[in-house]
Amino acid sequence: MKKITTITDWPPPYRIKESTRAKYIRLEIHPKEGVHIIVPKGQSHEKAIQFMLSKKAWLLNHLPAPSSLTEVNNKLPHLIDLRATNNQWVVEYLPAKRTKLYVNHYDKKLLIKGERNQPQLIYPHLLGWLYTEAERVLTDKLASVSQKIGLPYNAIQFRRQKRIWGSCSRDHKISLNIKLIFMPMTWVEYVLTHELCHTRHFNHSPAFWQLVEGFCAEYQTIRNAMKTADQLIPHWV
């Protein structure tokens, strides 16, 4: 479980990320976001910031130019690849004073009217469409996988988290990350199977992994491949 705190009032942009696996404070540079300060869970955020300040010279030598970050974050997509559905959506833009999104399901096209020089007004419309697509696809797929492996669940909800792809509560409520729709369906099926297996074993015991393997023999290969999942997620999601 990771807790993310976003800080926006200090250049360069950075995030403080608490991790149960971290043993000490360390810095990571992400071209799309700036600096990630990884700290052990419960560590003082003030101490984390002081650590980053002490590494100023190193950061100045390794961080991309601020304009590079701005250029990446302001770039609007022209093609959206939803790998889970094997569909690529073309995005077209038309200038207009008011922002509005039109969906052409037949041709897999999105038409967005608005000010292209104000992507912050366009991204919410793209995210709204993405939520609708992800909820439709993942709801149907979870029901299908549940029936196939014989492990029922009580409810489903959707979130947009950094790297938690799914979770299962003790009352068998499955939570899924909408970003799964950008991943191959084999990865999606593994995540759904993983969470459904938690309805029987609410832990990661050997019995849990044995159950997962019984339904997904290649789960270890998929888990390793999913370490690169971040590279499949567009910057605007």
**What is the tens place of the pLDDT at every residue in 179-192?**
999 999 999 999 99
Residues 125 and 168 in one domain: no
| Same domain as 67, residue 79 | no
Q: Which of 15-19, 109-113, 185-189, 195-199 has the lowest mean pLDDT?
A: 15-19
* pLDDT at position 193: 99
Number of structural domains in the chain: 3
Judgement on whether residues 110 and 190 belong to the same structural domain of the protein: no
Residue (of 83, 95, 167, 92) closest to 133 by Cα position: 83
Q: Does 109 share its domain with 184?
A: no
Q: How confident is the model at residue 71 (pLDDT cuts 50, 70, 90)?
A: low
Residues contacting 119, CB < 8 A, separation 6+: 73, 74, 75, 76, 236
**121 and 154 part of one domain:** no
Same domain, 224 and 151: yes
Residue 237 covered by a domain: no
Strand pairing class (34-40; 14-19): parallel
Query: Does one domain contain both 138 and 223?
Result: yes
Are residues 20 and 49 located together in one domain of the fold? yes
Q: Are residues 120 and 31 in the same domain?
A: no
pLDDT band at 6 (very low <50, low <70, confident <90, very high): very low
Last residue of one domain, picked from the residues 72, 92, 112: 72
Q: Give the angle subtended at the CA of 11 by the CAs of 5 and 14, to the nearest 5°.
A: 25
Query: At residue 184, what is the residue type?
Result: P
Query: What is the residue range of 18's domain?
Result: 2-72
Residue 230's pLDDT is what?
87
Tokens of 141: 């797929």
60 and 85 in a single domain? The answer is no
Residues 221 and 150 in one domain: yes
Q: Interhelix angle for 185-197 vs 119-149, to 10°?
A: 60
Chain segment 99-139, per-residue pLDDT in tens: 899 999 888 999 999 887 788 888 999 999 999 999 999 99
Residue-wise DSSP of 10-65: SSSPEEEEEESS-SS-EEEEETTTEEEEEEETT--HHHHHHHHHHTHHHHHHHSPP
Q: Model pTM greater than 0.75? A: no
Task: Convert the pLDDT of each residue in 152-182 to its tens digit.
Answer: 999 999 999 988 999 999 999 999 999 999 9
